[in-house]
Amino acid sequence: MHRAICPGSFDPLHNGHVEVVARAAALFDEVVVAVSTNPHKRYRFDADRRLALARESFADVAGVVVEPMGAGLLAQYAARRGAVALVKGLRSGEDYAYEVPMATMNRDLTRVETVFLPGDPRYLHLSSTLVKEVHGLGGDVSGFVPAPVLAALRG
């Protein structure tokens, strides 16, 4: 089985994430959406809620599993899960410059490769931070997030 990991905090999950994970699911036998928590970040949704929203959002995507990443290095998590690849969506050259050193370190640590998928042009402007900001200021984010996330933001 060829398993890939799509890691992230997903706070909140947006359509750019969904699109990359769905494409990854067409390439690998299984894609694990690994929801991480950084103790230095301030979250809109706690870890349990982010997990639940991701599970709801990917319920109809075959081959996608959602689980908490837990503490520790992503490379070690990937090795424990038997993943052959990490999948990262790229919106721009800045994303690439940020991700390449981590990809190289992960490969050096555990031999897990990183696969970069260019983001869909419809979502290149999206980030979780921007979605939270627009929503917080009363903007309509309905075109940018899956239905379960939109309901949670409104709820």
pLDDT in tens, 26-65: 999 999 999 999 888 889 999 999 999 999 999 999 999 9
- What are the start-end ranges of the H helices in 28-146? 47-57, 74-80, 93-110, 128-136
Structure confidence by residue, pLDDT tens digits, 114-141: 999 999 999 999 999 999 999 999 999 9
42 flagged as catalytic? no
pTM: 0.95
Average pLDDT for 10-26: 98
pLDDT of residue 38: 84
State the pLDDT at residue 141.
98
Structure confidence at residue 98 (pLDDT): 95
Which whole number is the average pLDDT over 65-91?
96
Determine the Cα–Cα distance for residues 65 and 62; give it in Å rounded to an integer: 9
- For helices 47-57 and 147-154, the axis angle rounded to 10 degrees is 140
- Active-site residue among 88, 128, 132, 135? 128
Residue of 17, 88, 132, 135 marked catalytic = 17
Report the share of the chain in percent with pLDDT over 70. 100
Go through 43-52 and write b for each residue having 16 or more CB atoms within 10 A of its CB, e for each that does not.
Answer: bbbebeebbb
